[in-house]
Amino acid sequence: MSTAISAGNRAGGFDRTAVRRDVPGRRRFRAAAGLVALLGLVGVAGLLAGCGGARQLYRSAPLEREIELNRKATTAFERGQHETALSGYREALRISRAIEHVDGIAANLLDLAAVYRVIGDGEKAALAADEILTEGKLAFSPVQRSSAAYLRALLFTDQNALTDASRLAAQARALCRESACGQEGRIVNLQARIAFLAGDRAAALAAALEALALNREVKADEETANSLRIAADVRSVFGELAKAREGYEEALVLDKKLGLAAKIRLDLIRLGDVAAGQGRGEDARVYYRRALDASRGAADEPGTAEAVERIRGLEQSR
């Protein structure tokens, strides 16, 4: 295996920073915060459309205020203004508790957990998610508990606590199936990643292919690309570089369609790794330079540093 391939797989064959942004839920809820963007449970306005709130003919003034605060916090998050987002979500949560708006409580807790995770405060993120998972006074829906379990699985993955991560991912999947949440493929992608990190490459590939079928069935392009990339990561480790190349190329097409700069950069890096592993040094250099351009265009400093490192590695191996 080439030096470039080895470097690419040190973290388990997938980008941990990408996983940090990853969290599940119902597709019909447009997520706000980066993590909960994958949950689909971000934003009270979205929840109202999916949890029965849309049927309300009358919205009280506190409910309208809660929705507005959540929207503003979401905008702040998307601009990278994390403290402003936290302040907004906390206030929205305070109001949702005061009027016992259960969907709003779930949404704001998940949003808070997402932001805490992005800024590296895993303890507070876990506390927020656990409030939904712990049996208590309020009855959260299976979809909301599935989302919280998925987030907890991600937090355990961050800590490399893979046994706990696997347990919570399985819980998230069971709850998703119970509620027909439509996000099973996303959860199975995480299970594939956990298996890969645990060193069970065969299980990782099987899960990635299962997730691929699930995500294609519901036409979830972003998660389909994730499935393709995870399967290609495993095949790279197995030395099946031609198949890995096909997977990364297909993922790149989808990521470009969706305009996902960070994942475009990752696809290009992986294609460069495969080219280097096949002895196609000039092709690898082109891929790495494309990844460098994509990273600079997105002001992605870690991505830029990774691309530069790959280019230097090629030069040193000549």
Q: What is the separation, in whole angstroms, between the first and last Cα of the chain?
A: 16
Give the chain's mean pLDDT. Answer: 85
Residues 6+ apart with CB under 8 A from 259: none
Cα–Cα distance measured from residue 199 to residue 83, given in angstroms and rounded to the nearest whole number: 37
Per-residue model confidence as pLDDT tens digits over 161-205: 999 999 999 999 999 999 988 999 999 999 999 999 999 999 999
Cα–Cα distance measured from residue 27 to residue 19, given in angstroms and rounded to the nearest whole number: 18
Cα–Cα distance measured from residue 133 to residue 164, given in angstroms and rounded to the nearest whole number: 14
Helix (H) or strand (E) holding 304: helix 301-317
Residue with tokens 């506390």: 127
pLDDT of 167 reads: 98
Helix (H) or strand (E) holding 254: helix 241-258
Tokens standing for 158?
């961050």
Tell me which residue of 315, 303, 306, 229 sits closest to 276, measured CA to CA. Answer: 315
pLDDT of 31 reads: 32
272 exposed, middle or buried (CB, 10 Å; 0-12, 13-18, 19+)? buried
pTM of the model: 0.81
Q: Where are the alpha helices (DSSP H) in 40-141?
A: 44-50, 61-78, 82-98, 102-118, 122-133
pLDDT of 129 reads: 96
pLDDT of 261 reads: 94
Which of the residues in the chain have pLDDT under 70? 1-57
pLDDT of 45 reads: 36
pLDDT of 318 reads: 74
pLDDT of 59 reads: 84
Cα–Cα distance measured from residue 259 to residue 253, given in angstroms and rounded to the nearest whole number: 10
Domains and CATH numbers, the chain: 25-181 (1.25.40)
pLDDT of 136 reads: 84
Cα–Cα distance measured from residue 258 to residue 210, given in angstroms and rounded to the nearest whole number: 22
